[in-house]
Structure 1
Amino acid sequence: MSLSAKLQLRQSQSLVMTPQLMQSIRLLQLTHLELDRFIDEEIERNPLLERAVVEGGAGETIDAAPEPQPAVSEDWFDPGESFSAESMSEKFDTSLENIFPDDPGAAERLSPDLAGQWKNTSTGTGGPLPEGFDMEDIAAAPVTLRDHIGEQIAFTFSQPADRLIAVELTEWLDDAGYFRGDIEEVAERLGVDSTAVRTVLERCRAAFDPAGLFAADLAECLRLQLIRRDRLDPAMMALLSNLPLLARHDFQALKKLCGVDDEDLLDMTAEIRALDPRPGLAFSGGPTDAIVPDVEVRRAADGSWIVELNSETLPRVLVDQAYYASVSSHVRSTTEKDFLAECMQNANWLTRSLDQRAKTILKVASEIVRQQDAFLTHGVRHLRPLNLKTVADAIGMHESTVSRVTSNKYILTTRGVFELRYFFTAAIASASGGDAHSSESVRDRIRQMIESEQPADVLSDDAIVDILKEGGVEIARRTVAKYREGMNIASSVQRRREKRAMASAGR
């Protein structure tokens, strides 16, 4: 058999993942905040893109309606009196001398610029405010945990060496305020004796506010707080030494170890719960972004549901055709022409991708609302089991597309704001052979049954299984246990101990 070289032509179809196609897919799973940042970056890179200004929509600055003026009492305000800066200054003396009556030199110690600005804002007689003045610029910044501790270090330690050690110890605190470092390592880093480090650490634990900072673990954090309250007695020390028993609600064992009765034990546990297990978190909280729904659902006059995109989350981008025409008439080199053509191509692609993203989100959300009509009307007990494939088949899209669309997207309904993924729940078979039940609705039934328990009739997992089967839900005991643990609900043994102890204290 002879071997020879020859040419053949073949035709085939394949999907090529171009960078633009990959970017379009990525846009689907971005939140509206991430999308805004992405668009801002694109506008910086592409001179042909600009934010659209839509009346009453995103991108437009609208003058807010005048706020209602607060009511004023007649003892200082005469309706017939004329207003002026001078008259108001006479009624409200906000000069530095009045703010600091016991410190006449306060005004001199302040810088001349700050003193002048205070005069301008307080009396209105020192001329106009500086150009670009913004009250938010002088608002107090959030105090961090290290800032708060740094202020206390200056007042607690007089020796520079001790202050240096305290500052280094602060660097080893976690967000909750616990000391996560090693004393020997800190001593080696600073070149001091470990005893000096340990002494400073104990002073920090004993003196700094809030109580519980620099603790090594939860028990020590609670102990430091109880010492400040003068409530650390032998019984409480025994309770702190056996916190795992408290977490398991093993009150019988705790009573023996602490040497107290039911009433005293309940009082002690109430004191423990009133303490702060993470004192440092009070200084780590920043501004929290509120959830802005991507889709809104409301009732129509005929009883159907109206599904609309939230205009606040829709970025509006325009291609500046006028600027393109102006620039293209002046370009001469090939490089400039290629750059301008690429900018136009990317700009058109982005506007089409954003439009397609909005349509896809609306399409998926509308199908979810259609599938979960009973939930919107009657509540969580009527939530239907639903999966991605069902929605994808109904709207003619791929399952992966639906998954990307429902990721980190929220919908505002008459029952609250939900993530779109909330409506996708597993199916639990019906005991009577009818429609399957949603796992979320079964969780709600379990929660309701446990919340309505009586101390003498605490439901075991097996009892819950029997009740659910009588209600038409076919479920295994281990599934009930998994759902219960997922909702942070204790076992029947622990609940019985706690309810009986509380009932005894009530008597």
Structure 2
Amino acid sequence: MQLSQSIRLKQKQSMVMTPRLQQAIRMLQMNNLDLASYLEDQALENPFLEVGADSDASGDVSPEVGSDVGIGDASSETGGADLIDTDMKAGASPQDDPAANQEFDNRFDYSAADGPAGHLAGQGGQSGQGGDQDWDMIASTIAERPPSLFEHVGRQIDIAFSDAKQRMIAQILTGALLPSGWLGKSVEDIAEENDLARDDVAAVLVQIQKFEPTGIFATGLADCLRLQAREAGLLDAAFNVLLDNLELLAQGKIDQLARRCKSSPEDVRDMLQHLRQFDPKPAETFFGEPDIVSAPDLIAYRGPDGWVVELNKSTLPGITIDENYAARLKKRVAAQAEQKFTMQALSSARWLKRAMEQRNETTLSIAAEIVRQQTPFLEKGANHLKPLLLRDVAKAVGMHESTVSRVTTGLMIATPRGSVTLKSFFSVSLASDDNEAGTSAASVRHLIGEIVRGEVPGDPLSDDEIVSRINASGIAVARRTVAKYRQILKIPSSAERRRRARLNAPA
């Protein structure tokens, strides 16, 4: 067989993920805070790019809308907020004709004189009053960082011990603390690892177990509760026996526990009430994340003409391009390599602004469609959450499902019913006898929670009884579905709920 080489032309189409396309996709799925951090990094590399607080977002991004709700233009009452109507036409897009605007690359420049973002309806009516009245959700909720557990304990060590050796032992014990506040090692192990006398370690441990918060440096759950009972003046012989038999308490065996404590069941229940006031993990708050309210990326509220969605400008970054500096630099730079860098940097900055506008418009369009479809939930509550899939929103706004998925993953929206993720508005449909559209799974979960909350404490409903009640309301649901949703809601089984009710029964 003869082998030969030849050149052939072949035509084909393929999608190429250019660096700029990858950058646009990354920006699409960032929340406002991540986006601000990303743009600041870009500004460090690009001398023409300036990033600051957004005072006018991306201009008027509202598409043409019907006559019912026309709140696309910024008004004096909202101080230039970027609004998009929830009754927009499917697939509509804003007019964007670069040729009609010679300042196309600068039409996103923001001016602090445009006024603050609008407040939500019913929040004081102080909108449009100037920069000092800007609504900044983060600034009003973030407090100074509290001291860490080790800082808190270290201050008490400095006060309690004057002896250098005892202070050193106390610091070693502090290093052995678990996030719960319990001691993670035995006294014997700590003494052996650090070549110390056991009695010396035990003596220091007795002293630091008096530190705040009460219960810290305990050797276990019973010891932690015992320290708190002693501090409260409740530790008598019966309480000590109760703490030595916590396994009986967990099993709800009140009568057997009463016999061991040589007390009546009523006295045991009284001790149990005191026990519930103690903190089994007294140091856990020191190890938790700072109590920071996550600022929403979007805000939805009911205006005078219907529901309105706007970007949260208190966290949304703004971009400006220093065109004057770019023009001056072009005149001064003579070397070809420097001119190339200048042109590339300026082009990159302009493209980033256009990508920001597209990101904002896409986010608003998708959020507005979600709010439009889930208006019953916003007005009436969780029971009225409609079944909604990514493809439903994608079809309505004329985008691909993957685009909708990227935008809704991780973004928060503030509503009159609290701040929730956009993803939480999506729910599969369950069959319904009287509603062809069906009922959302989220609504069924909410209904299960309400049924359990309304049951008689001593006579909890089984999963079969919950199924019967749900089916009676016209929603077809299987027992395994109820069991799965009950576990998602962290609702224990009927046997466990009955046991807990027995523990909580009044004397």
Q: TM-score range by the shorter chain?
A: 0.7 to 0.9
Q: Residues 388 and 424 of structure 1 are in contact (CA less than 8 Å); yes or no, is this contact kept in structure 2?
A: yes
Please state whether the residue corresponding to 1:64 is helix, strand or coil: helix
**Do structure 1's residue 391 and structure 2's residue 393 form an aligned pair?**
yes
**Do structure 1's residue 315 and structure 2's residue 383 form an aligned pair?**
no
Q: Residues 145 and 290 of structure 2 are in contact (CA less than 8 Å); yes or no, is this contact kept in structure 1?
A: no
Correspondence list, 1:262-301, <5 A: 262-284=265-287, 288-301=291-304
The structural deviation recorded for 1:287 is 5.1
Correspondence list, 1:344-493, <5 A: 344-431=346-433, 434-455=436-457, 457-493=459-495
Q: Residues 250 and 494 of structure 1 are in contact (CA less than 8 Å); yes or no, is this contact kept in structure 2?
A: no
Per-residue displacement from partner, 1:481-501 (whole Å, max 9, x unpaired)? 232233233322233344355
Shifted more, 352-361 versus 292-301: the winner is: 292-301
Q: Structure 1 CA distance, aligned partners of 2:112 and 2:244?
A: 64
Q: Residues 465 and 476 of structure 1 are in contact (CA less than 8 Å); yes or no, is this contact kept in structure 2?
A: yes
The one-letter amino acid paired with 1:145 is L
Q: Residues 386 and 424 of structure 1 are in contact (CA less than 8 Å); yes or no, is this contact kept in structure 2?
A: yes
Q: Structure 2 CA distance, aligned partners of 1:284 and 1:316?
A: 35
The structural deviation recorded for 1:263 is 2.5
Correspondence list, 1:66-215, <5 A: 142-181=146-185, 183=187, 186-187=190-191, 190-205=194-209, 207-215=210-218
Q: Residues 387 and 426 of structure 2 are in contact (CA less than 8 Å); yes or no, is this contact kept in structure 1?
A: yes
The one-letter amino acid paired with 1:64 is D
- Which residue in the other structure is 1:23 paired with? 23
> CA 1:295–1:221 in 2, change beyond 3 Å: closer, same or farther?
same
> CA 1:342–1:243 in 2, change beyond 3 Å: closer, same or farther?
farther
Q: Structure 2 CA distance, aligned partners of 1:287 and 1:501?
A: 34
The structural deviation recorded for 1:260 is 4.3
> CA 1:261–1:218 in 2, change beyond 3 Å: closer, same or farther?
same
Please state whether the residue corresponding to 1:329 is helix, strand or coil: helix
- Which residue in the other structure is 2:37 paired with? 37
- Which residue in the other structure is 2:345 paired with? 343
Q: Structure 2 CA distance, aligned partners of 1:400 and 1:8?
A: 37
Q: Residues 455 and 503 of structure 1 are in contact (CA less than 8 Å); yes or no, is this contact kept in structure 2?
A: no
The one-letter amino acid paired with 2:45 is R
Please state whether the residue corresponding to 1:465 is helix, strand or coil: helix
> CA 1:156–1:297 in 2, change beyond 3 Å: closer, same or farther?
closer
Q: Structure 1 CA distance, aligned partners of 2:344 and 2:257?
A: 74
| TM-score of the aligned structures, taking structure 2 as reference length | 0.76
Q: Structure 2 CA distance, aligned partners of 1:39 and 1:283?
A: 33
Q: Structure 2 CA distance, aligned partners of 1:223 and 1:504?
A: 24
The structural deviation recorded for 1:164 is 0.6
**Do structure 1's residue 232 and structure 2's residue 235 form an aligned pair?**
yes
Q: Residues 429 and 437 of structure 2 are in contact (CA less than 8 Å); yes or no, is this contact kept in structure 1?
A: no
> CA 1:441–1:495 in 2, change beyond 3 Å: closer, same or farther?
same
Q: Structure 2 CA distance, aligned partners of 1:251 and 1:476?
A: 37
Q: Residues 251 and 497 of structure 1 are in contact (CA less than 8 Å); yes or no, is this contact kept in structure 2?
A: no
> CA 1:251–1:372 in 2, change beyond 3 Å: closer, same or farther?
farther
Q: Structure 1 CA distance, aligned partners of 2:482 and 2:377?
A: 22
Shifted more, 380-389 versus 180-189: the winner is: 180-189
- Which residue in the other structure is 2:8 paired with? 8
Q: Residues 249 and 494 of structure 1 are in contact (CA less than 8 Å); yes or no, is this contact kept in structure 2?
A: no
> CA 1:258–1:333 in 2, change beyond 3 Å: closer, same or farther?
farther
> CA 1:288–1:36 in 2, change beyond 3 Å: closer, same or farther?
farther
> CA 1:256–1:488 in 2, change beyond 3 Å: closer, same or farther?
farther
The structural deviation recorded for 1:271 is 1.1
Q: Structure 1 CA distance, aligned partners of 2:253 and 2:438?
A: 39
Question: Which consecutive residues of structure 2, in runs of 5 or more, have no partner in the other structure?
Answer: 52-109, 118-128, 134-142
- Which residue in the other structure is 1:64 paired with? 132
The one-letter amino acid paired with 2:132 is A
- Identity percentage over the alignment? 42
Per-residue displacement from partner, 1:446-496 (whole Å, max 9, x unpaired)? 222222222454312211111111111222223222322332333222333
Q: Structure 1 CA distance, aligned partners of 2:194 and 2:458?
A: 61
Please state whether the residue corresponding to 1:308 is helix, strand or coil: strand
> CA 1:289–1:259 in 2, change beyond 3 Å: closer, same or farther?
same
Q: Residues 176 and 280 of structure 1 are in contact (CA less than 8 Å); yes or no, is this contact kept in structure 2?
A: yes
Per-residue displacement from partner, 1:386-442 (whole Å, max 9, x unpaired)? 222322233232222222211221222233322111111232222557432112211
Q: Structure 2 CA distance, aligned partners of 1:504 and 1:445?
A: 29
Aligned residue pair count? 428
Q: Residues 36 and 316 of structure 2 are in contact (CA less than 8 Å); yes or no, is this contact kept in structure 1?
A: no
> CA 1:496–1:192 in 2, change beyond 3 Å: closer, same or farther?
closer
| TM-score of the aligned structures, taking structure 1 as reference length | 0.76
Larger RCO (alpha carbons 8 Å, 6+ apart)? 2
How large is the Cα RMSD of the aligned pairs?
2.9
Q: Structure 1 CA distance, aligned partners of 2:247 and 2:390?
A: 42
The structural deviation recorded for 1:154 is 2.6
The structural deviation recorded for 1:168 is 1.7
Please state whether the residue corresponding to 1:305 is helix, strand or coil: strand
The structural deviation recorded for 1:201 is 2.6
Q: Structure 2 CA distance, aligned partners of 1:227 and 1:448?
A: 40
Please state whether the residue corresponding to 2:483 is helix, strand or coil: helix
> CA 1:285–1:433 in 2, change beyond 3 Å: closer, same or farther?
closer
The one-letter amino acid paired with 1:54 is A
Q: Residues 179 and 284 of structure 2 are in contact (CA less than 8 Å); yes or no, is this contact kept in structure 1?
A: yes
Over alpha carbons, which structure has the higher Rg? 1
Partner of residue 54 from structure 1, selected from 104, 112, 120: 112
The structural deviation recorded for 1:49 is 0.8
Q: Structure 1 CA distance, aligned partners of 2:255 and 2:489?
A: 25
Partner of residue 220 from structure 2, selected from 217, 222, 229: 217
Please state whether the residue corresponding to 2:112 is helix, strand or coil: coil
The one-letter amino acid paired with 2:34 is E
Per-residue displacement from partner, 1:294-335 (whole Å, max 9, x unpaired)? 222233444x42222223233210111111011011112233
Question: Which consecutive residues of structure 1, in runs of 5 or more, have no partner in the other structure?
Answer: 66-138
Q: Structure 2 CA distance, aligned partners of 1:383 and 1:213?
A: 45
Per-residue displacement from partner, 1:138-160 (whole Å, max 9, x unpaired)? x9973332222122223333431
The structural deviation recorded for 1:165 is 1.3
Q: Structure 2 CA distance, aligned partners of 1:251 and 1:482?
A: 31
> CA 1:267–1:482 in 2, change beyond 3 Å: closer, same or farther?
farther
Correspondence list, 1:245-260, <5 A: 246-247=249-250, 249=252, 251=254, 254-255=257-258, 258-260=261-263
Q: Structure 2 CA distance, aligned partners of 1:347 and 1:483?
A: 49
> CA 1:18–1:183 in 2, change beyond 3 Å: closer, same or farther?
farther
